[in-house]
Amino acid sequence: MIHLAKSFEAIKAWLKSTELSECVRVESVKIEDTIETLGLNPFVRHGFRTLTNLTRNAMMKDAEAKADYFFHEMTASATTVVEEKLTLLFRVEEEIKHVRELIEDLLNERILQDVYKVGFEPFVKSAPSACHRPSLTETCQCLFELKR
């Protein structure tokens, strides 16, 4: 349940920090389904998908295994300021802070930053047919143009 609350807060903060808050009513956002948590294979995360660079691959195999990011994927519904319904697919990135990093932050008196954030614009799963675009920015632009 902690992922739900933190992901929801990250989505609201992201919408408020972008011009998309002028399109999507932040208070109307609701997470619809269960959250799927995804973890990337370290080889994929660091771009080692082939065996062409054996030295880098060997270094990766010998490195301490650690998950540095999880991705929480969820469907959310929202209403636009022009009263249109949207369904959005969000992927929220969770940075995994390890004990060593937490201790360094505390010793250096750094404020611990929120580790949940929306990494990129959500995918629009459904919108009014005249304005259905994969990009939320493009969908919002179209909705505003229709209402003029």
Residue type, 138: E
Q: Where are the domains of the chain?
A: 2-37+73-147
pLDDT tens figures, 48-78: 555 565 555 566 566 665 567 788 999 999 9
Pair 136, 121: CB distance under 8 Å = yes
Name the pLDDT band for 83 (thresholds 50, 70, 90): very high
Q: Which residue has the tokens 């369904």?
A: 87
Instruction: Report the sign of the C-alpha dihedral through residues 60, 63, 68, 74, in that order.
Output: positive
pLDDT tens figures, 120-143: 899 999 999 999 999 999 999 999
For 77, the token pair is 């519904």
Residue type, 124: V
Q: What is the pTM of this model?
A: 0.75
